[in-house]
Structure 1
Amino acid sequence: MHDPIVTFVARLFQWLGRGIGFAFGIVLWPFMRFGRWLSGRGLLLKTGFGALAIVLLCLYGYFFYVTQWWTNFNPDYPVAWINAADTTAAGDPVQPAPEAQAPTNEVTAAASCKPSAIAAVSADLVDFNVNQNAWISSMLVSKLGLFGIDWRRTPFFDNKAAFQLGINQVMRRTTTELVDTLGRVRGTSQIDQNLQDARTALAWNEDAWYIGWRGPTRPTPSVYRDAIRKLRAFNASLEKCQATFDARADNLMQFLDRIASDIGSTSDILRARIEASNAGWFDMRADDRFWFAYGQLYAYYGILVATRSDFAAVIAERNLTTLWTRMQKQLRNSLDVQPWIISNGSESSSFFPSHLATMGFSLLQVRSNIVEIRSVLDR
């Protein structure tokens, strides 16, 4: 007599095998019908459809590659900007290096000002999104989806796109603040044209291809590359003391308010998804929510490290070094949460973790630190 447990396990695997086979049958059925239809057609038609099939296979193969391999992904990317001893604000004159100073009998070296780390990190992050990696959202296969189904409605190939969009959300917020407050004196001086052009470029449609509903257009990566050039052009002008960076305490406070508001909005999105579903590993929308939030944290880590460099004088004057260091460490630790599969289970579940709740906690922790720093600035 067979062991009942062995029999049950054997039947379970048999049912799973039949289910998987049935699912594959449903997916392959249209292709099999089309193949039978095409077999009775002429050589010219077969050649045309064969060429189309090869093109689609290559496009989907490349799409699979660029969505699975993340080039130069490194949570420690802003480490070069961490300098606790720096007390010079962005835009302030700086002394040239000793070897660059002119001898006493020669003309004194030209004036030089400290460039903006915020502008530099922003340019690097956009470069990371569109040059070091392919911009997923505007790719043709991204628009086609999985047999017409939006990738966000499937468990496949949307994580990197969501991560890139999270970074881009931060870039849009940052360039807006650079234009409106940080890159001009007390908000009344003339807007810096390089920063304005960078903001306009990053406001471009995130999924634009070569052809849109209104005809030929510029693809998103091409326009975002203009933003990189403009941000670096602003920094070049600032380094020559020909541009402005207004590193005042009230500007820092306003910038932190905007960041806290942005982070709070994303935490609300995560909370809404947690309340809408507790399907655990089978929630098809949890992964794009998680990786969008992760992209925001990834970008804000670099931006806040850069902000510490640009507002070094204010941070030293208000004794914010300890608080800022703690915020940076907590933000960096939150980037270590990189689950292979995102689960949106009940927060009290023993088997289905809630990665969205974990990410939401990290966001609120960062926001709490920002609010604390802001309160010190407001005293």
Structure 2
Amino acid sequence: MLDPVYAFFRSLLAGIRRGFGLAFAAIVWPFLAVHGWYRDRGLIIKAAVGGIIVLFLGFNAYFFWQTQRWTGFDPDYVAKYDLAARTTVAGQELPSTTGAKACQPSAIVDVTADLIKFNVDDNAWISSMLAYRAGFFGVDWDNTPFFDNKASFQRGINQAVRRTATELVDSLGRVRGTSGINPDLQDARGNMQFDEYSWYFGLSPFGPKTPTPSYYRAAEKSLRKFNTSLAACGATFDTRADNFVQFLDRIASDLGSTSQILSDRSETAARGWFDFRADDRFWFAYGQLYGYYGLLSAAGADFSQVIRERNLTQVWAGTLAQTRAALNVQPWIISNGKEDGMFMPSHLSTMGFRILRVRSNLVELRGVLDR
């Protein structure tokens, strides 16, 4: 009675073996053909081809190493600034026992410059690497589940840095209506707006180019120059409450946009572990929160007087705690499953919820400051 069942499974297994065999043969055949051709060539051709193969393997090994090595990654990186020890707001003159005039540099500017350094000096800027731009046999790495998490994470940090550079120029680094734009901050903003994917050579327009990391390093240099000038009381950092409100409002708006991106992806492409773009969205959002955690912590030091005067110390501490808690979500494999799914979690929904909690705290702070 069971013989037909056994026969069915035997034929099924035999078919699977044949399928694997054909697939293996299809994969191996080009290599065997190339090996046969290579074996019959002369020494010079063998050396040239061998050199090309070695360069190709080394090129991709370097790319693999850079995408997997996250140098300096630390969700608690804010601790190194010892912001609690800063008792003077940014731009205010410091007490001096020597008679030399000195002012408090900006923690926001320090963190912004260090985030740029983290992206392009401590680590290779992945998005403009030739191997990343070439893709996986012509397929954009962002459309695969491989080697794109670090690039997305860096671009998320870069989003926070770009937003902050803009706010430094427009409001924080000047007294609105009575002072001009600081040239160092203006240079930093301009350089941070540069294309994230530029390599040494491009097709549109055709010709040599300055790569992305060079522009970002120039922005870092301009930011540090501004803070040096601020420490010598030669620049302005305006710590009025309305500037603080605007800064928080811009961050809340930025996070709201990212939350919507996560929500849209979660609702339209809930394929669990088989959504190969879910990791891009997740790590972009994570990088954005990683950057804003440091920048918000720095803002707490630069605007400490406003926080104390408005009795916001507890609410502000809660906002930073919520932001830091979101950085604990570090799944090994990103899954974009249904929210009520049993087997595949929805990491995009989880990150979106965390972002919305941070945003709601920022909106609450803004409301108190607006009163």
- Both structures adopt the same fold (TM-score exceeding 0.5): yes
What aligned pairs does 1:1-379 form with structure 2 within 5 A after superposition?
Answer: 26-81=26-81, 83-84=83-84, 86-96=86-96, 101-102=97-98, 108=99, 110-213=100-203, 214-379=206-371
Please give the root-mean-square deviation of Cα atoms over the aligned residues, in Å: 2.7
CA–CA distance in structure 2, aligned partners of residues 187 and 279 of structure 1:
52
| CA deviation string 1:275-308 (max 9, x = no partner) | 1212111111111110000000000000000011
CA contact (8 A) 2:83 2:298 kept: no
Q: Relative to structure 1, is the Cα distance of residues 41 and 365 closer, same or farther in structure 2, using a 3 angstrom cutoff?
A: same
Q: Relative to structure 1, is the Cα distance of residues 234 and 343 closer, same or farther in structure 2, using a 3 angstrom cutoff?
A: same
Unpaired segments of 5 or more residues in structure 2? none
Runs of 4+ in 1 over 6 A off after TM superposition: 7-21
SS in 1 for 2:122: coil
CA contact (8 A) 1:198 1:228 kept: yes
SS in 2 for 1:163: helix
Q: Relative to structure 1, is the Cα distance of residues 60 and 178 closer, same or farther in structure 2, using a 3 angstrom cutoff?
A: same
Q: Relative to structure 1, is the Cα distance of residues 27 and 319 closer, same or farther in structure 2, using a 3 angstrom cutoff?
A: farther
CA contact (8 A) 1:345 1:352 kept: yes
CA–CA distance in structure 1, aligned partners of residues 311 and 8 of structure 2:
67
CA–CA distance in structure 2, aligned partners of residues 312 and 54 of structure 1:
56
SS in 2 for 1:283: coil
CA–CA distance in structure 2, aligned partners of residues 80 and 70 of structure 1:
18
SS in 2 for 1:205: coil
CA–CA distance in structure 2, aligned partners of residues 172 and 139 of structure 1:
21
> 1:42 Cα shift?
4.8
CA–CA distance in structure 1, aligned partners of residues 16 and 74 of structure 2:
39
CA–CA distance in structure 2, aligned partners of residues 150 and 8 of structure 1:
42
| CA deviation string 1:20-42 (max 9, x = no partner) | 66665555554444444555555
> 1:71 Cα shift?
0.6
| CA deviation string 1:199-243 (max 9, x = no partner) | 111111111111112211111112211111111000000000000
Q: Relative to structure 1, is the Cα distance of residues 18 and 266 closer, same or farther in structure 2, using a 3 angstrom cutoff?
A: farther
SS in 2 for 1:215: strand
Q: Relative to structure 1, is the Cα distance of residues 22 and 362 closer, same or farther in structure 2, using a 3 angstrom cutoff?
A: farther
CA–CA distance in structure 2, aligned partners of residues 350 and 161 of structure 1:
30
Q: Relative to structure 1, is the Cα distance of residues 324 and 25 closer, same or farther in structure 2, using a 3 angstrom cutoff?
A: farther
CA–CA distance in structure 2, aligned partners of residues 364 and 19 of structure 1:
48
Q: Relative to structure 1, is the Cα distance of residues 39 and 181 closer, same or farther in structure 2, using a 3 angstrom cutoff?
A: same
Q: Identity of aligned pairs, percent?
A: 57
